[in-house]
Amino acid sequence: MAEIKTVHIWMLDGRSLCDRRPHPAHHAQTQEQLEAARAESESAPACGACLLLAGRIRREAAAIIERHPTVHPVKASEAWESLRETRWNSYFNLDAFKASADRVDQATRYDAIKNGVDPASVMELVDQWNEEVLKTGIVREELGGKSAPSVS
């Protein structure tokens, strides 16, 4: 049985965030095939696995901000600029961020990542990380950011 077509969050390497789908190849498709694929995507449900992972990543970012309230670089425009030598440069128009650096810096708050994330859930994750350090003496970052999923 074929799986249901779903809408995914796409990563730079051409795979979905859930790592279950390669990016569809559009280069060999006719205009009619592209239109049919677009219409199918418009009516498709979102990928639940991608959404769970995106929520988890946001929760982890909120927990990092909770544990480490200072951020480097301080200015958001400098953080965007630091992506210039990465694959993100081909995804975002970094020149647009550079051109409007003052506006980007005034409008961006790193701690806003916590908006819309349940504070109790964030603190649960912070406590989990702190317990891991106490039990193992290993800081989560030394493990490459790996952590056990929890239900929340």
* Alpha-carbon dihedral sign for residues 39, 53, 145, 109: positive
109-131 confidence digits (pLDDT tens): 999 989 988 899 889 888 888 88
Q: How far apart are CA 86 and CA 101, in angstroms?
A: 19
- How does residue 48 score in pLDDT terms, banded at 50, 70 and 90? very high
- How does residue 143 score in pLDDT terms, banded at 50, 70 and 90? low
- What pTM was computed for the model? 0.71
What are the DSSP calls for 84-122, one per residue? Answer: TTSGGGGTS-HHHHHHTHHHHHHH--GGGGGTTS-HHHH
CA 130 from chain center: how many Å? 23
Q: How far apart are CA 118 and CA 62, in angstroms?
A: 10
Cβ atoms of 143 and 83 closer than 8 Å: no
15-29 confidence digits (pLDDT tens): 889 998 776 655 567
